[in-house]
Amino acid sequence: MAKAAALRKPKKKVNPLDKDGITYIDYKDTALLRKFISDRGKIRARRVTGVTSQQQRQIARAVKNAREMALLPYTTTAR
């Protein structure tokens, strides 16, 4: 028991969307979407973002829509 706790302590993540009361993820809201992409422009994994799987899908779709409209980058090389 003590050993397992020492190995990994499951830290409860707060859902960043529920916390701010966001129900609809808009692809135009780049400030919000930037929280969910890495500095290289990749979409962050759900285990990092801590949102529900439904929200993660909506985020992914919003990011992809935003990329098509050049609001977010597809890739960013070391910056």
Provide the binding-site residues for other proteins, judged by CB under 8 A.
24-28, 58, 61, 65, 67-74
Least Cβ distance, residue 5 to other proteins (angstroms): 40
Cα distances from 62 to residues 16, 23, 65, 73, in angstroms, run 16, 13, 5, 13
Of residues 12 and 75, the one with the C-beta less far from other proteins? 75
Of residues 6 and 53, the one with the C-beta less far from other proteins? 53
37: phi then psi, degrees, rounded to nearest 5: -120, 150
Of residues 13 and 28, the one with the C-beta less far from other proteins? 28
